[in-house]
Structure 1
């Protein structure tokens, strides 16, 4: 791989004696990682059933390395939402942002959803997750991944950050910004990124990052935490952008990130007049850890610690009773949705988060959990609902083992035969983990797996 001479000069100045070790890392084998969805399965249980060799990522509690030949995206457990494929260093921002059930959380540059899925799991179905990406096409992938993970208390938006700020002023307890960047930390993994680096340079991204930070600070409540991350080594985009926001907003302070022995401290000396507390930031280098390059900074907005009530925490408003078409289906659920949290838009029925939000005038791709469609005298459950359920929360389940050929046939959209007769809507599972719905007539299961998700 031919690296740009200007980039090499900058890295030599940044790393000094470690520069050669960094260059040598390009000759090492790329690492692959997955992160377990602990809302569906514990790490201990996943280790027992995982069909390919894995090793723990030492600084991520639910992260694992796997071999590139394993092809985990082709296993039924992937389609059951048991794990997300993610480069190990990229797991770090969502892991190190302390999110608690009940928090209001914003993932501002969220697509394709690797970090949002972990934030949603941390919330445990309480509070609210607002996942936003300015790109509408990328936000569609974000929505799919959050649905695959079974997240329900979410709003998916596709807006420029400055358009969100007036709606969510001082609203969020936690904000994650995995900012657009020049991608220097990905050169080893994705050499194609070099072309963009040559075309745009660091200045382009630093300006964009600071605009995003300006909007995010307005949306962070006093006492809240903001985690800023990039996958670049550029001091201008890393410590430089953090120093910019510290100087502009004196109410922000840098907090320590939960340590790991491979982390390198931030480099305030790389920024003219840089605050010494920038050393609390974290740099990840591939010659020090088994992962690609990354940068993290955890910021706290000083002020009143107790969460204020805000106008954007509007009541969700809803229905007075369950729709007639939904009532019979609801009898099969172990939990009953509160009518006041339901929204019927056309034929589509949604379960909204208990925590409301002012979304008027914004591009909203999803509000809460799509339960299904209320058609004439019948209800058709959604793929999203299937992924939100577990085998104990729905009465009519049929489970196949991962080795059963019918699982792949189902994922391909084919009609399959069950071992015993059933009727109505059945939840098709693999080893008791839901995959989707089918309509049963005797032993015949008419496939209702979402066409856009099918096995290719």
Structure 2
């Protein structure tokens, strides 16, 4: 491929004898990966179901390299069930490195289209809260879909400028991920059109944006919290220099060593003026050293003692206005309402829509919110109509009325295309499943299963 002369010259200066190997990496096949949704299945169990052999990604326990010529992963029913996310392997690293634990308050500040947010959500295991933000409203819609596809029940999806979030969430989060906008040098192989963007804007343009975003993130991190900064570029100006500038502006932060594996390399302090040796604690992902297109990561910790986070417990009392929902639970599900995904959060009716919310609505007033928690469904006319998001959040064993098809059954694709199916299932709402995974709802009536799969998600 054609690389800008100034870029090729800079890489020669930086890499020296390694530059030839880097340039040759553009000739190999692009690395593609799949990350298993551990909220739905373990990596080991997934491998047994998938059939085709998959090689593990060293820095991500749930990640695998896709084999050339295998099953088309974006057309497989498991993809529509949210059993995995398709992601470039080195891009799996940031959410794997940030030490998220169930119960944390986590912010993904530049989150669309959702690869890292879905990873963080799986690691939270439904506890604590995940705020996933993207300043672009259109990209935030894709982010919301991917989080719902993954069955996430404790996410708040926002579309705001970082400084505006900082004015509302000062010192709130225990973990923050900033996968910052960048010049995208690690994406040249995947999408050569990014070269034109690089030529138009250059590294300085993005370095300024990165510093502004990091300052907003710093204001939102709690004492003792951790912040992961990452880019998909090789530019020292956007990587080591941005990290060093941040540390000079925020003396209460220090770099934490990122353990290296699978060909990961240290940061390079010698590539910037007066580079601090601590920058070696960062991690670089080079496409000629590992199977991945390229990434950079730096892990910071803020001084102070982290305070434990506890979920808000709601009264288990039965709420009169939710009687249609409780009847649905008794008729269709195999567990009590208190055991359902998101049920430990705050139930609230907004008009006809029922949500379980991890954050009080008052705390979000004035922000552009796409979703606060799990949208369970609609309460109207004395009945409850469950949502697509609720279907994906449920596990098969939590549902009593099931319409189960073998993964290879043509009925699965017919369902995903929105077709009405023949029915021998119990009357009423049924969770339609492909093997062990729920796909969405169908409503059995007589000899037909009426298709309730969300129109905008249908198989194309």
* Per-residue CA distance 1:33-87 (angstroms, 9 max, x = gap): 0000111011111111104442212222111111344310000011111110000
Structure 2 Cα separation of the partners of residues 315 and 425 of structure 1: 29
* Per-residue CA distance 1:332-387 (angstroms, 9 max, x = gap): 33141459721111111111127888212100000100000112121110000000
Q: Which residue of 2 aligns with 1:325?
A: 324
Q: Is the 8 A contact 2:47 2:53 kept in 1?
A: no
Q: Which residue of 1 aligns with 2:98?
A: 97
Structure 2 Cα separation of the partners of residues 64 and 270 of structure 1: 32
Q: Which residue of 2 aligns with 1:30?
A: 30
Q: Which residue of 2 aligns with 1:44?
A: 44
Q: Which residue of 2 aligns with 1:54?
A: 54
Q: Is the 8 A contact 1:108 1:133 kept in 2?
A: yes
Structure 2 Cα separation of the partners of residues 306 and 169 of structure 1: 15
Q: Is the 8 A contact 2:37 2:150 kept in 1?
A: yes
Q: Is the 8 A contact 2:33 2:88 kept in 1?
A: yes
Q: Could you say what secondary structure the match of 1:62 adopts?
A: strand
* Per-residue CA distance 1:287-317 (angstroms, 9 max, x = gap): 00010010000000011233589xxx99999
Is residue 2:357 matched to residue 1:352? yes
Is residue 2:372 matched to residue 1:367? yes
**Cα pair distance change 1:225/1:399, threshold 3 Å:** same
CA RMSD of aligned residues (A): 2.0
Structure 2 Cα separation of the partners of residues 353 and 102 of structure 1: 11
**Cα pair distance change 1:39/1:172, threshold 3 Å:** same
Is residue 2:184 matched to residue 1:183? yes
The gaps in structure 2 that reach 5 residues or longer are none
**Cα pair distance change 1:448/1:171, threshold 3 Å:** same
**Cα pair distance change 1:339/1:181, threshold 3 Å:** closer
Q: Which residue of 1 aligns with 2:435?
A: 431
* Per-residue CA distance 1:132-164 (angstroms, 9 max, x = gap): 000000000000000000010110000000000
Q: Which residue of 2 aligns with 1:409?
A: 414
Structure 1 Cα separation of the partners of residues 26 and 362 of structure 2: 46
Q: Which residue of 2 aligns with 1:342?
A: 347
Q: Which residue of 2 aligns with 1:380?
A: 385
Report the more deviating stretch, 158-167 or 334-343. Answer: 334-343
Q: CA deviation at 1:29?
A: 1.3
Q: Could you say what secondary structure the match of 1:246 adopts?
A: helix
The gaps in structure 1 that reach 5 residues or longer are none
Q: CA deviation at 1:242?
A: 0.6
* Per-residue CA distance 1:397-421 (angstroms, 9 max, x = gap): 1210011110000000000123x34
Which stretches of structure 1, 4 residues or more, deviate above 6 A after TM superposition?
A: 313-319, 354-357
> Within 5 A, what are the aligned runs for 1:60-99?
60-69=60-69, 70-99=71-100
Structure 2 Cα separation of the partners of residues 352 and 244 of structure 1: 37
Q: Which residue of 1 aligns with 2:298?
A: 297
Report the more deviating stretch, 340-349 or 245-254. Answer: 340-349
Count matched residues: 452
Structure 2 Cα separation of the partners of residues 315 and 416 of structure 1: 41
Is residue 2:135 matched to residue 1:142? no
Report the more deviating stretch, 357-366 or 93-102. Answer: 357-366
Structure 2 Cα separation of the partners of residues 88 and 357 of structure 1: 39
Is residue 2:14 matched to residue 1:14? yes
Q: Could you say what secondary structure the match of 2:427 adopts?
A: strand
Q: Is the 8 A contact 1:347 1:375 kept in 2?
A: yes
**Cα pair distance change 1:357/1:406, threshold 3 Å:** same
Q: Is the 8 A contact 1:316 1:357 kept in 2?
A: no
Q: Which residue of 2 aligns with 1:237?
A: 238
Structure 2 Cα separation of the partners of residues 340 and 192 of structure 1: 44
Q: Could you say what secondary structure the match of 1:18 adopts?
A: helix
Structure 1 Cα separation of the partners of residues 307 and 361 of structure 2: 19
Q: CA deviation at 1:27?
A: 1.0
> Within 5 A, what are the aligned runs for 1:198-347?
198-307=199-308, 320-331=319-330, 332-333=332-333, 334-337=335-338, 341-347=346-352
Please report the TM-score for the alignment, with normalisation by the length of structure 1. Answer: 0.95
